[in-house]
Amino acid sequence: MRGGPVVEGSYRSTYEFSCREPERFWLDAAAAIDWDKPPRQALDDSAAPIYRWFPGAELNTSANALDRHVAAGQGDAVALVYDSAMLGTRRRYTYRELLQEVELFAGALQARGVGRGDRVIIYLPMVPEAVVAMLAAARLGAVHSVVFGGFAPRELAARIEDAQPSAIVTCSGGIEPARRVEYLPAVAAALALSGHRVADVIVKARSGFEHTVGSFGAGRDAGDTRWHDWDELAAEAGPAGPVSVAATDPLYILYTSGTTGAPKGVVRDNGSHAVALAWSMKNIYNVGPGDVMFTASDVGWVVGHSYIVYGPLLAGATTVLYEGKPVGTPDAGAFWRVVRDHRVNVLFTAPTALRAIRKADPEAALVRQYDTSSLRTLFAAGERLDPETCRWAAAALGVPVIDHWWQTETGWPIAANPVGLEQLPVKPGSPSVPVPGYRLMVVDGAGEPVPAGVEGNIVIKLPLPPGTLATLWGSDERFIQSYLKVFDGYYATGDSGYLDEDGYLFVMGRTDDVINVSGHRLSTGAMEQVVAAHPAVAECAVIGVADPVKGQRPSGYVVLKQGSEIDEAQLRAELVARVREQIGPVADFKDVRVVPALPKTRSGKILRKTMRQMADGAEYTVPSTIEDPSVLDELLPVLRGAARPAAGEPGPRP
């Protein structure tokens, strides 16, 4: 295929087979899953460009993650290790013990009326109950939607409004290095903001928090919602067995930032998700029974869904659930301590974390304090892994450092070095080659393939492989318009980059206004809506500027309304507080500058891409459509100063 990989070996033959005979390839891969009704057909293209994999087949994802391993005699193998650096506690769950926890909580949900197709929102930090709740919902054929605990009530309310859940599962709060975050008031506020009535809120109690389930009327009507204690419900429940569902039934909804600020609910189905993750665990990560995988992410993000919870458990491996930070809990040796204590074989983290560790421990002295000899591979994803950090980590750990690239929408890697299939040479700065199943190409604005080394739009030929998004929740049309209309016959990734002469992909950046802050995809458009609502602001632009640790961070530029006399420091503080309240601390928004004007085209479009290039010190061309070129000249020193936070601006809250 033009633009495809040219490297030789088993990877090359596997990739070509997956492109030449995709249905046979994926039916073969489906043999790794236990089916209640095995698939006889791989692809249903009757509703193209909406494609479905394994029509007519039936299974249960929770049973594939737990029951089948117990039935195969692996019940005493360790499934989950909970390691809380925040509490200094650790707990191990065997496959049998985790299954028992899941059966009982599924029974508790079932007793509250949750069944096949119902939605359950999970608003939990990195605690074992998050894993249990996900698997329990899947056990009943319900659809779970995990919402990251760092999101503010307004963001949670938007997801409640869209998913319309019958239940919310949460806990007393999350624990940060210097503070505790109360979850229950946020849930109550979100319920008040939403027009959808949620029947039940189930709360896992954690000590040390001000609010308890009793604050909201445990076990009785509290407004239109009943609040329950997790342990009490589980104690009264009987175990629930797995419900067989169609392979094409949804497993979960995971919301990602939309360019207009409205959340997009990515839908993952049961069958193709299980097949794709099982294939990736073996062929990309080289992880199977007896191996330990430590994915340093959060269950609220796609990495946590795929490679903390489902992937390792489908593979029969041990997964580490870490409640802590890469630095500060207690120091930059935290990850290496986890590797030593749990004999981790594969570590997966974000480049942001590696850069933070390197910044705190540039000589890697802390690595040498721990026995990391069990580690075989370090994988990185979330944003581009810069070559210097890649080389630093490889030298410090003495293992291959594998950058790989994927999205919330795809659910598993698009481009990677397939270590389990064939370990290819590493090229720092590249996530390596297209993964089998992804017919990846780089095209120009007209959709025509570009030569090797020429940057263009990264696209994937339809149909997408199993495990990728089936649609967007409640809107096939929005799915088509958002991803499939830009280039006919292709999925538009929204990223730009190029393929080199060896078929290695280099991802250069986003083509839309969704930025990557510490691995979290966030909409600058959503931030602009918050900023623009301030009474002193006439217009604004928020761009993502390069950050050596976080990858990108949002930087705001505002034009004041005529006659406004607000002090710039006061305005900055108010805008930072507004974004924090309405979007959440995860946005890391704290850089705001007042400017006399914003550069625009004659049609009124703000030149955000040009501003971003100027702020990053990159080459840029003044567009011919610009209304007033002098605005850019006046703005240049301000944009170049964006690399250094403004003096006196508020620092991040702990």
Q: Are 436 and 14 in contact (CB under 8 A)?
A: yes
Q: What is the mean pLDDT of the chain?
A: 90
Torsion of CA 356, 359, 362, 367, to 10 degrees: -30
User: pLDDT at residue 604 above 80?
Assistant: no
Separation CA 620–CA 640 (nearest Å): 13
Query: Could you write out the DSSP letters of every residue in 129-178?
Result: HHHHHHHHHHHTT-EEEE--TTS-HHHHHHHHHHH--SEEEEESEEEETT
Beta strands in 16-166, from DSSP E residues, in sequence order: 43-47, 50-53, 58-59, 78-84, 89-94, 119-123, 143-146
Mean pLDDT of 437-453: 95
Tell me which long-range contacts 361-367 makes (C-beta under 8 A, separation of at least 24): 361/331, 361/332, 361/333, 364/392, 364/395, 364/396, 366/331, 366/332, 366/333, 366/336, 367/333, 367/336, 367/396, 367/397
Residue environment code for 415-425, b if the CB has 16+ CB neighbours within 10 A, otherwise e = bbbbbbbbbbe
pLDDT score at 646: 43
Determine phi and psi for 89, rounding to 5 degrees: -120, 155
> Per-residue pLDDT for 511 more than 50?
yes
Higher pLDDT, 575 or 605: 575
More confident residue, 257 or 37: 37
* Residue 222 confidence (pLDDT): 46
Read off the pLDDT of residues 166-189 as tens digits, 9 standing for 90 and up: 999 999 999 988 889 999 999 999
The alpha carbon of residue 543 and the mean position of all alpha carbons in its chain are separated, in whole angstroms, by 21
Q: Which of 381, 404, 406, 378 has the alpha carbon at shortest distance from 392? A: 378
Residue 625, pLDDT score: 60
Identify whether the C-beta of residue 33 lies closer than 8 Å to the C-beta of residue 59.
Answer: yes
pLDDT at 4 over 70: no
Q: How far is CA 430 from the centre of its chain?
A: 20
pLDDT at 643: 53
Choice among 190-194, 329-333, 582-586 with the minimum mean pLDDT: 582-586
pLDDT digits (tens, 9 = 90+) for 299-313: 999 999 999 999 999
The domain locations on the chain are 93-246, 516-643
Which of 47-61, 151-165, 210-224, 640-654 holds the top average pLDDT? 47-61
Query: Band of the pLDDT at 218, cuts 50, 70, 90?
Result: low
List pLDDT tens digits, range 85-119: 999 999 999 999 999 999 999 999 999 999 999 99
Residue 621 has pLDDT above 90, yes or no: no
Residue 352: per-residue pLDDT: 83
- With residues binned 3-state (H G I as helix, E B as strand, rest as coil), the percentages for the chain, rounded to 5, are 35, 25, 40
pLDDT of residue 652: 30
- For residue 260, give the amino acid letter: T
What is the helix (H) or strand (E) element at residue 554, kind and residue range? strand 551-560
Amino acid letter, residue 160: I
pLDDT the model gives residue 624 = 56
| Lowest-confidence region among 50-54, 327-331, 344-348 | 327-331
CB 141, CB 117: distance < 8 Å: yes
Q: What is the pLDDT of residue 102?
A: 98
Q: Given a cut of 60, is residue 428 above it in pLDDT?
A: yes
Structure confidence at residue 639 (pLDDT)? 86
pLDDT at position 69 is 98
How confident is the model over 343-348, as a mean pLDDT? 98
Orientation angle between helical segments 10-20 and 22-29, nearest 10 degrees = 110
Question: pLDDT band at 564, cuts 50/70/90?
Answer: confident
Cα-Cα end-to-end distance for the chain? 50
For residue 653, name the pLDDT band (cuts at 50, 70, 90): very low
Q: What is the CB-side half-sphere exposure of residue 153 using CA atoms within 13 A?
A: 16
Domain 516-643 indexed as CATH 3.30.300.30? yes
What is the DSSP secondary-structure string of 339-390?
HHHHT-SEEEE-HHHHHHHHHH-TT-TTGGGS--TT--EEEE-SS---HHHH
Which residue type does 397 have? Answer: L
pLDDT of 585? 86
Q: What is the pLDDT of residue 645?
A: 47
Section 237-241 average pLDDT: 97
Tokens of 280: 């990736």
Q: Tokens standing for 546?
A: 């390069």
Q: Tell me whether the omega of the peptide bond preceding residue 330 falls within 30 degrees of 0, making it cis.
A: yes
Residue 402 has pLDDT above 50, yes or no: yes
The predicted model gives 456-466 an average pLDDT of 96
Res 651: pLDDT: 32
With cut-offs at 50, 70 and 90, classify the pLDDT of residue 654.
Answer: very low
C-alpha span between 48 and 325 (Å, rounded): 44
What global pTM score does this model have?
0.84
% of the chain exceeding 90 in pLDDT: 71
Cis omega before residue 49 (within 30°)?
Answer: yes
Token pair for residue 405?
A: 């690239």
Q: How far apart (Å, rounded) are the C-alpha atoms in residues 582 and 580?
A: 6
Residue 246: pLDDT over 50 = yes
Beta pairing class for 456-461 and 173-176:
unpaired
- pLDDT tens-digit series, residues 364-390: 999 999 999 999 999 999 877 888 889
Size (the chain), residues: 654
Residue 73: pLDDT over 50:
yes
- Quick: pLDDT tens for 261-271: 578 999 999 99
* Residue pointed to by tokens 């006196």: 648
CA distances from 148 to 26, 37, 170, 530, 588 (A): 32, 34, 11, 20, 15
Give domain 93-246's CATH number out of 3.40.50.2000, 3.40.50.980, 3.40.50.300, 3.90.1200.10: 3.40.50.980
Measure the CA–CA gap between 344 and 44, rounded to whole angstroms: 40
| Pairing label, strands 78-84, 318-323 | parallel
Task: Give the model's pLDDT for residue 229.
Answer: 96
For a pLDDT cut of 70, what percent of the chain falls above it? Answer: 93
Which distant-in-sequence residues (6+ apart) come within 8 Å of 21 by Cβ? none
| pLDDT tens sequence across 469-495 | 999 999 999 999 999 999 999 999 998
User: Does pLDDT of 258 surpass 60?
Assistant: no
Residue 326, token pair as written in the block: 């890469």
Segment 151-160, tens digit of pLDDT: 889 889 999 9
d(CA 427, CA 546): 22
Q: Is the pLDDT of residue 219 over 60?
A: no
How far apart (Å, rounded) are the C-alpha atoms in residues 319 and 310? 10
DSSP letters along 386-418, please?
Answer: -HHHHHHHHHHH-S-EEE-B--TTTSS-SEE--
**What average pLDDT does this structure show over 500-528?**
80
> Taking residues 58-70, what's their average pLDDT?
98
Beta strands at 143-146 and 119-123: parallel, antiparallel or unpaired:
parallel
